[in-house]
Amino acid sequence: MVKKPRGVADILPGETERWQYLEQVIRELTRVYGYREIRTPIFEFTELFQRGVGEDTDIVMKEMYSFRDRRGRSLTLRPEGTAGVVRAFIENGLHKWPQPVKLYYVGPMFRYDRPQTGRYRQFHQFGAEVFGTAEPVADAEVICLLMDFYARVGLRGLQLEINSVGCVSCRQALVAALREYFRGKTSGLCSHCLERVERNPLRILDCKEEGCRELLKEAPVPLDFLCGGCQSHFAAVQKELAACGVSFLVNGHLVRGLDYYTGTAFEVLVPGIGAQSAIGGGGRYDKLVETCGGPPTPGVGFAVGLERTLLALAAQGVELPGAAAPEVFVAFAGERAAGRVPAILRWLRAAGIATERDYSGRGLKGQLKQANKRAARWVVIVGEAELDRGNVSVRAMETGEQVEVPEVALVSWLKERLGQ
Ligand code: AMP
C-alpha cells in the first residue's frame, strides 16, 4: 500500500463538518465586512515567490515545493496566499476597479518544514487583503476582521501583538544598525544568518535558531528607527484599534518572516497548543504590488492557519457542530410498500429534508433498529394497509408516538414539525 507523504493529512467525515463550520463563519464574516472571494492557482512561477516573499526568507530558502514542468519551467506550490493574490490583482487589472479592493481567500498552502503538532507541509489558510488604501483605518479593519473571526468561532484568551517594521526609508537606518550589530557577533549566528548579515540582516530578526535568538535580545529593534510618517501611522492604527474595542500589546521585537512587510505587522498567539502558538498574522505591504510589476498600490492583510485554529478550539474544549443525524428514516413492510419508498425518498430530499433508508433488505424491525442507530428524528413507515387508505405512518423516535398522515401531505407535515 502506498501511504501519504509526511506532513499532510486526510480530513475525514466527522472532521470535515468542523472545517465546513469554519468556512461558514468565514463566508458570513467576510460578507458583512465587504470582502469578496478570490481563487488563485495552487502553483505559480517560482520567480513570483522569490521576488514577492523574498530570496532571503526561510520560506524561499528552505521551504518551497518547487519543481520543473515538462518544458523545464520552475513552478512552486504556493507557500502563502498574498503573492498569488497580488499577481492576480495586477494581471487582471484590479487596480482599475474602484479602490479599495477588498479580497479574501481560503485554501491549501505548502511548505517543506519539519512536521510537528500544528506544523504541516500542506496546511490551510484563510486570508484577507485590502488594496488601494494606505490609511491606518484599513490596517485596523483587517485586524478587527481577524479578531472577529476568532471570537465568532469561539476562541478565548488570545494575544494580539502589533508592531511597525517601518517603511523603505526608515528601514535603511535600521538595516545599517543591524549590520553593524551582527558584524561583531558572527560566531553566534547560524549559517543562513551569516549570509544574511550583508545581504538582508532584517531576516535575522525572525530566525528560529537558538543561537540567533539569543543574540536578538540585544539587537536594535525596528520601533526605534521609525520615521515621522511611520510613527504617526502606527499611533493612528493603535488609536483606531482602541476605538474598535480591540485590545493589543505592542511588541517591538515582532517581525514577520516575509520580506514584503512595510509598516504595521501583527501576530495572534494562543496559549495551550504547544510550540506552534501563532494562529494568524499579517501586516502592511505597500511596495509589494510594485515589486511584482504593478502600479504603486498600498496593501494590508492577514492569514489565519485553520489547522491551528481547530487545534486551539479543541484545546479550549469548544464544541463545533459534528455530523448531522438524518431527520427522517423511511422504512417499509411488504413488496407493494417497497415500491413506494423511492418516490417518498425523492419528495423528502427534494424538499430539503435529510432522509435515509435501509440498503440491505432488512425486515421492518431491523429497519427500525437502523433508524434508531442513526438517531433519526422521525421514521416514515410505509405499510400496505395504510397505503390502501392513501396514508403512511410517521413515528416520532423520541416519544414513540405514531400517527397516520396522508401521503400527499407528508412533506408539509414533516416540514412543519422540523421547523423548516
Ligand atoms: P505566516 O504568514 O507564515 O505567519 O502564516 C500565517 C499562519 O499560517 C500562521 O500564523 C499559522 O497559523 C499558519 N501556518 C504557517 N505555517 C504553517 C504550517 N507549516 N502548518 C500549519 N500552519 C501554518
pLDDT of residue 58: 85
Question: Cα(246)–Cα(42) distance, rounded to whole angstroms?
Answer: 34
pLDDT tens readout for residues 119-140: 999 999 999 999 999 999 999 9
Residue 80, ligand 1, Cβ within 6 A = yes
Residue 79, ligand 1, Cβ within 6 A = no
DSSP E strand boundaries for 46-188: 65-68, 74-77, 101-110, 122-131, 159-164
Query: pTM of whole model > 0.95?
Result: no
Q: Which of 156-160, 161-165, 182-186 has the lowest mean pLDDT?
A: 182-186
Distance (angstroms) between ligand 1 centre and the Cα of 365 equals 52
For the chain, helix (H) and strand (E) counts, in that order, are 15, 16
Q: Which of 62, 77, 111 to mutate to test the pocket of ligand 1 (most atoms within 8 A of CB)?
A: 111
Q: Which of 22, 59, 125, 129 to mutate to test the pocket of ligand 1 (most atoms within 8 A of CB)?
A: 125
pLDDT tens readout for residues 46-62: 999 999 998 888 899 89
In this model, does residue 274 exceed pLDDT 90?
no
Closest by Cα among 316, 238, 242 to 279: 316
The pLDDT mean for the chain works out to: 95
Distance (angstroms) between ligand 1 centre and the Cα of 367 equals 47
**Cis amide bond preceding 100, omega within 30:** yes
Residue 113, ligand 1, Cβ within 6 A = yes
User: Ligand 1, atom 16: nearest CA belongs to which residue?
Assistant: 119
Q: Which of 276, 288, 304 to mutate to test the pocket of ligand 1 (most atoms within 8 A of CB)?
A: 276
pLDDT tens readout for residues 285-312: 999 999 999 999 999 999 999 999 999 9
Residue 278, ligand 1, Cβ within 6 A = yes
pLDDT of residue 259: 80
Closest by Cα among 382, 307, 295, 292 to 345: 382
Q: Give the per-residue SS3 of 202-258.
A: HHHHHCCCHHHHHHHCCCCCHHHHCCHHHHHHHHHHHHHHHHHCCCCEECCCCCCCC
Closest by Cα among 187, 234, 238 to 211: 187
C-alpha cell at 331: 422504512
Distance (angstroms) between ligand 1 centre and the Cα of 75 equals 21
> Which carries the bigger pLDDT value, residue 258 or residue 14?
14
Average pLDDT over residues 107-115: 97
Please name the residues in contact with 89: beta carbons below 8 A apart, sequence gap of 6 or more: 95, 101, 103, 131, 289, 294, 297
Distance (angstroms) between ligand 1 centre and the Cα of 120 equals 9
Using 50, 70 and 90 to split pLDDT, how confident is the model at 37? very high
DSSP E strand boundaries for 49-165: 65-68, 74-77, 101-110, 122-131, 159-164
Using 50, 70 and 90 to split pLDDT, how confident is the model at 278? very high
Distance (angstroms) between ligand 1 centre and the Cα of 59 equals 11
Distance (angstroms) between ligand 1 centre and the Cα of 118 equals 9
Closest by Cα among 82, 136, 125 to 289: 82
